[in-house]
Structure 1
Amino acid sequence: MKILLTALLFLFMLSAGGYAQSQGQMNADAYAGYTKADKQLNTVYQMILRQYAKDTKFIKNLKAAQRLWIQLRDADVAAKFPQEGSYGSVEPMCRAGYLEVYTLNRTKFLKVWLEGIPEGDVCNGSVKTR
Protein backbone atom coordinates (compact mmCIF):
# COMPACT_ATOMS: atom_id res chain seq x y z
CA MET A 1 0.00 0.00 0.00
CA LYS A 2 2.84 2.36 0.87
CA ILE A 3 4.47 1.72 -2.52
CA LEU A 4 1.17 2.45 -4.30
CA LEU A 5 0.75 5.75 -2.46
CA THR A 6 4.34 6.71 -3.21
CA ALA A 7 3.87 5.87 -6.89
CA LEU A 8 0.64 7.88 -7.07
CA LEU A 9 2.27 10.86 -5.35
CA PHE A 10 5.21 10.65 -7.78
CA LEU A 11 2.85 10.55 -10.79
CA PHE A 12 0.89 13.49 -9.42
CA MET A 13 4.06 15.52 -8.99
CA LEU A 14 5.14 14.72 -12.54
CA SER A 15 1.81 15.76 -14.01
CA ALA A 16 1.56 18.91 -11.89
CA GLY A 17 5.07 19.89 -12.93
CA GLY A 18 3.92 20.06 -16.54
CA TYR A 19 1.67 22.97 -15.66
CA ALA A 20 4.20 24.92 -13.65
CA GLN A 21 5.22 28.29 -15.03
CA SER A 22 7.97 30.65 -14.09
CA GLN A 23 7.00 34.00 -12.64
CA GLY A 24 8.39 35.61 -15.77
CA GLN A 25 6.03 33.54 -17.92
CA MET A 26 3.07 34.37 -15.68
CA ASN A 27 3.97 38.07 -15.94
CA ALA A 28 4.15 37.77 -19.73
CA ASP A 29 0.83 35.91 -19.89
CA ALA A 30 -0.86 38.54 -17.73
CA TYR A 31 0.51 41.33 -19.91
CA ALA A 32 -0.70 39.49 -23.01
CA GLY A 33 -4.18 39.33 -21.47
CA TYR A 34 -4.13 43.06 -20.81
CA THR A 35 -2.85 43.78 -24.33
CA LYS A 36 -5.67 41.71 -25.84
CA ALA A 37 -8.25 43.55 -23.72
CA ASP A 38 -6.75 46.90 -24.71
CA LYS A 39 -7.00 46.03 -28.41
CA GLN A 40 -10.66 45.09 -27.92
CA LEU A 41 -11.29 48.39 -26.16
CA ASN A 42 -9.65 50.34 -28.95
CA THR A 43 -11.68 48.48 -31.57
CA VAL A 44 -14.94 49.29 -29.78
CA TYR A 45 -13.88 52.91 -29.26
CA GLN A 46 -13.02 53.36 -32.95
CA MET A 47 -16.33 51.79 -33.99
CA ILE A 48 -18.21 54.26 -31.78
CA LEU A 49 -16.26 57.17 -33.25
CA ARG A 50 -17.23 56.04 -36.77
CA GLN A 51 -20.86 55.24 -35.94
CA TYR A 52 -21.47 58.54 -34.14
CA ALA A 53 -19.21 60.72 -36.32
CA LYS A 54 -22.00 63.16 -37.17
CA ASP A 55 -22.69 63.87 -33.49
CA THR A 56 -19.69 66.13 -32.93
CA LYS A 57 -20.70 67.17 -29.41
CA PHE A 58 -20.98 63.52 -28.35
CA ILE A 59 -17.60 62.68 -29.94
CA LYS A 60 -15.95 65.61 -28.17
CA ASN A 61 -17.39 64.48 -24.84
CA LEU A 62 -16.55 60.82 -25.44
CA LYS A 63 -12.93 61.68 -26.19
CA ALA A 64 -12.72 63.77 -23.03
CA ALA A 65 -14.30 60.96 -21.00
CA GLN A 66 -11.89 58.41 -22.45
CA ARG A 67 -8.86 60.57 -21.59
CA LEU A 68 -10.16 60.98 -18.04
CA TRP A 69 -10.91 57.26 -17.74
CA ILE A 70 -7.29 56.47 -18.70
CA GLN A 71 -6.09 58.89 -16.01
CA LEU A 72 -8.41 57.29 -13.45
CA ARG A 73 -7.33 53.77 -14.42
CA ASP A 74 -3.67 54.67 -14.13
CA ALA A 75 -4.20 56.51 -10.83
CA ASP A 76 -6.09 53.55 -9.38
CA VAL A 77 -3.28 51.16 -10.32
CA ALA A 78 -0.70 53.61 -8.94
CA ALA A 79 -2.66 53.78 -5.68
CA LYS A 80 -2.63 49.99 -5.50
CA PHE A 81 1.14 49.88 -6.11
CA PRO A 82 2.45 53.31 -5.01
CA GLN A 83 6.10 52.27 -4.89
CA GLU A 84 6.70 50.74 -8.29
CA GLY A 85 9.08 47.80 -8.18
CA SER A 86 8.66 47.24 -4.43
CA TYR A 87 6.11 44.42 -4.43
CA GLY A 88 8.14 41.48 -5.58
CA SER A 89 8.28 39.51 -8.77
CA VAL A 90 4.48 39.19 -8.95
CA GLU A 91 3.99 42.94 -9.27
CA PRO A 92 3.99 43.04 -13.10
CA MET A 93 1.45 40.20 -13.19
CA CYS A 94 -0.76 41.92 -10.64
CA ARG A 95 -0.55 45.30 -12.39
CA ALA A 96 -1.42 43.71 -15.73
CA GLY A 97 -4.31 41.85 -14.11
CA TYR A 98 -5.79 45.05 -12.72
CA LEU A 99 -5.29 46.83 -16.05
CA GLU A 100 -7.04 43.97 -17.84
CA VAL A 101 -10.04 44.05 -15.49
CA TYR A 102 -10.40 47.85 -15.74
CA THR A 103 -10.13 47.63 -19.52
CA LEU A 104 -12.67 44.82 -19.88
CA ASN A 105 -15.12 46.77 -17.72
CA ARG A 106 -14.62 49.92 -19.79
CA THR A 107 -15.14 47.96 -23.01
CA LYS A 108 -18.40 46.56 -21.65
CA PHE A 109 -19.49 50.07 -20.67
CA LEU A 110 -18.70 51.50 -24.13
CA LYS A 111 -20.36 48.66 -26.06
CA VAL A 112 -23.73 50.04 -25.02
CA TRP A 113 -23.30 52.76 -27.67
CA LEU A 114 -22.83 50.08 -30.32
CA GLU A 115 -25.46 47.61 -29.15
CA GLY A 116 -28.07 50.16 -28.16
CA ILE A 117 -30.64 49.84 -25.44
CA PRO A 118 -34.26 48.72 -25.56
CA GLU A 119 -36.76 51.24 -26.81
CA GLY A 120 -38.63 52.89 -24.00
CA ASP A 121 -35.64 53.66 -21.78
CA VAL A 122 -36.21 57.34 -21.16
CA CYS A 123 -32.68 57.83 -19.82
CA ASN A 124 -30.84 56.63 -22.90
CA GLY A 125 -29.30 60.03 -23.69
CA SER A 126 -26.94 59.64 -26.65
CA VAL A 127 -27.26 55.84 -26.78
CA LYS A 128 -29.29 54.66 -29.75
CA THR A 129 -32.22 52.35 -29.20
CA ARG A 130 -32.35 48.86 -30.71
Structure 2
Amino acid sequence: MRKLLYLCFVFTVNASFAQTQADMNKEAYAAYEKADKELNEVYRDILLAYKSDTAFIYNLRASQRIWIAFRDAELNMKYPARDAGFYGSMHPLCRASYLAELTRERTATLRKWLQVAAEGDACSGSVSLKN
Protein backbone atom coordinates (compact mmCIF):
# COMPACT_ATOMS: atom_id res chain seq x y z
CA MET A 1 0.00 0.00 0.00
CA ARG A 2 2.83 2.37 0.84
CA LYS A 3 4.42 1.73 -2.54
CA LEU A 4 1.15 2.46 -4.29
CA LEU A 5 0.75 5.76 -2.43
CA TYR A 6 4.37 6.65 -3.17
CA LEU A 7 3.92 5.93 -6.90
CA CYS A 8 0.73 8.00 -6.99
CA PHE A 9 2.57 10.86 -5.32
CA VAL A 10 5.52 10.64 -7.74
CA PHE A 11 3.28 10.57 -10.81
CA THR A 12 1.19 13.47 -9.52
CA VAL A 13 4.27 15.60 -8.86
CA ASN A 14 5.79 14.77 -12.25
CA ALA A 15 2.52 15.46 -14.04
CA SER A 16 2.21 18.86 -12.41
CA PHE A 17 5.55 19.94 -13.91
CA ALA A 18 4.92 18.55 -17.38
CA GLN A 19 4.66 21.04 -20.20
CA THR A 20 3.54 20.65 -23.74
CA GLN A 21 5.68 21.88 -26.60
CA ALA A 22 3.11 24.60 -27.18
CA ASP A 23 3.51 25.75 -23.55
CA MET A 24 7.30 25.85 -23.90
CA ASN A 25 7.03 27.76 -27.19
CA LYS A 26 4.68 30.24 -25.55
CA GLU A 27 7.07 30.76 -22.62
CA ALA A 28 10.05 31.26 -24.94
CA TYR A 29 8.12 33.80 -26.99
CA ALA A 30 7.04 35.59 -23.79
CA ALA A 31 10.71 35.79 -22.75
CA TYR A 32 11.55 37.29 -26.14
CA GLU A 33 8.71 39.81 -25.81
CA LYS A 34 9.98 40.77 -22.35
CA ALA A 35 13.51 41.27 -23.71
CA ASP A 36 12.13 43.31 -26.62
CA LYS A 37 10.08 45.47 -24.27
CA GLU A 38 13.18 46.15 -22.15
CA LEU A 39 15.17 47.04 -25.28
CA ASN A 40 12.48 49.51 -26.34
CA GLU A 41 12.44 51.09 -22.87
CA VAL A 42 16.23 51.54 -22.89
CA TYR A 43 16.05 52.95 -26.44
CA ARG A 44 13.36 55.47 -25.38
CA ASP A 45 15.36 56.44 -22.30
CA ILE A 46 18.40 57.14 -24.48
CA LEU A 47 16.32 59.21 -26.89
CA LEU A 48 15.09 61.26 -23.95
CA ALA A 49 18.50 61.64 -22.31
CA TYR A 50 20.20 62.73 -25.55
CA LYS A 51 17.31 64.65 -27.14
CA SER A 52 19.40 67.79 -27.63
CA ASP A 53 22.19 65.90 -29.46
CA THR A 54 20.63 65.67 -32.92
CA ALA A 55 23.70 64.11 -34.55
CA PHE A 56 23.75 61.35 -31.94
CA ILE A 57 19.98 60.72 -32.24
CA TYR A 58 20.26 60.49 -36.03
CA ASN A 59 23.04 57.92 -35.73
CA LEU A 60 21.30 56.00 -32.92
CA ARG A 61 18.21 55.58 -35.10
CA ALA A 62 20.34 54.49 -38.06
CA SER A 63 22.22 52.05 -35.84
CA GLN A 64 19.00 50.57 -34.49
CA ARG A 65 17.57 50.07 -37.99
CA ILE A 66 20.78 48.33 -39.03
CA TRP A 67 20.77 46.22 -35.85
CA ILE A 68 17.22 45.02 -36.60
CA ALA A 69 18.36 43.96 -40.08
CA PHE A 70 21.42 42.30 -38.51
CA ARG A 71 19.24 40.49 -35.92
CA ASP A 72 16.96 39.16 -38.65
CA ALA A 73 19.94 38.11 -40.79
CA GLU A 74 21.51 36.34 -37.79
CA LEU A 75 18.28 34.47 -37.16
CA ASN A 76 18.06 33.44 -40.83
CA MET A 77 21.71 32.37 -40.79
CA LYS A 78 21.15 30.19 -37.73
CA TYR A 79 17.87 28.79 -39.05
CA PRO A 80 17.89 29.01 -42.86
CA ALA A 81 14.61 28.32 -44.62
CA ARG A 82 14.22 24.55 -44.94
CA ASP A 83 11.46 22.08 -45.70
CA ALA A 84 8.64 21.98 -43.17
CA GLY A 85 9.61 19.94 -40.14
CA PHE A 86 13.36 20.12 -40.83
CA TYR A 87 14.16 21.64 -37.42
CA GLY A 88 11.58 19.65 -35.49
CA SER A 89 8.90 20.67 -33.05
CA MET A 90 11.28 22.75 -30.93
CA HIS A 91 12.00 25.16 -33.78
CA PRO A 92 9.65 27.93 -32.56
CA LEU A 93 11.15 27.68 -29.07
CA CYS A 94 14.69 27.81 -30.46
CA ARG A 95 13.94 30.81 -32.68
CA ALA A 96 12.31 32.74 -29.84
CA SER A 97 15.19 31.90 -27.49
CA TYR A 98 17.77 33.10 -30.01
CA LEU A 99 15.82 36.31 -30.63
CA ALA A 100 15.70 36.91 -26.88
CA GLU A 101 19.46 36.31 -26.59
CA LEU A 102 20.28 38.73 -29.42
CA THR A 103 17.89 41.31 -27.98
CA ARG A 104 19.39 41.09 -24.49
CA GLU A 105 22.86 41.58 -25.98
CA ARG A 106 21.69 44.70 -27.84
CA THR A 107 20.06 46.05 -24.69
CA ALA A 108 23.31 45.61 -22.77
CA THR A 109 25.15 47.49 -25.52
CA LEU A 110 22.68 50.38 -25.50
CA ARG A 111 22.65 50.64 -21.69
CA LYS A 112 26.15 52.11 -21.87
CA TRP A 113 24.58 55.38 -23.05
CA LEU A 114 22.53 55.54 -19.87
CA GLN A 115 25.59 55.21 -17.65
CA VAL A 116 28.03 57.94 -16.82
CA ALA A 117 31.33 57.70 -18.65
CA ALA A 118 34.40 57.48 -16.48
CA GLU A 119 36.14 60.80 -15.89
CA GLY A 120 39.11 61.08 -18.23
CA ASP A 121 37.95 58.25 -20.53
CA ALA A 122 39.24 59.60 -23.83
CA CYS A 123 37.38 56.88 -25.74
CA SER A 124 33.90 57.38 -24.28
CA GLY A 125 32.72 58.99 -27.49
CA SER A 126 29.09 59.99 -27.28
CA VAL A 127 28.54 58.37 -23.88
CA SER A 128 27.61 61.19 -21.53
CA LEU A 129 29.95 62.41 -18.83
CA LYS A 130 26.90 63.31 -16.77
CA ASN A 131 23.55 61.64 -16.32
TM-score by length of 1: 0.88
Superposition CA RMSD, Å: 1.8
Read off the aligned partner of 1:74 and give its amino acid letter. D
The equivalent of 1:72 in structure 2 is 70
Cα deviation, residue 115, structure 1: 1.6
SS for the counterpart of 2:104 is helix
Cα deviation, residue 119, structure 1: 1.4
SS for the counterpart of 1:18 is helix
Q: What percent identity do the matched residue pairs reach?
A: 46
Counterpart CA distance in 2 for 1:105 and 1:33 is: 14
- Higher mean C-alpha displacement, 14-23 vs 25-34: 14-23
Aligned residues: 128
Unaligned runs of 5+ residues in structure 1 are none
Read off the aligned partner of 1:16 and give its amino acid letter. N
Q: List structure 1 segments (4+ residues) > 6 angstroms apart after TM superposition.
A: 3-6
Query: Is residue 86 of structure 2 the alignment partner of residue 98 of structure 1?
Result: no
**Which residues of 2 match residues 1-130 of structure 1 at below 5 A?**
8=6, 10-83=8-81, 85=84, 86-130=86-130
Counterpart CA distance in 2 for 1:121 and 1:16 is: 55
SS for the counterpart of 2:17 is coil
SS for the counterpart of 1:128 is coil
Read off the aligned partner of 2:109 and give its amino acid letter. F
TM-score by length of 2: 0.88
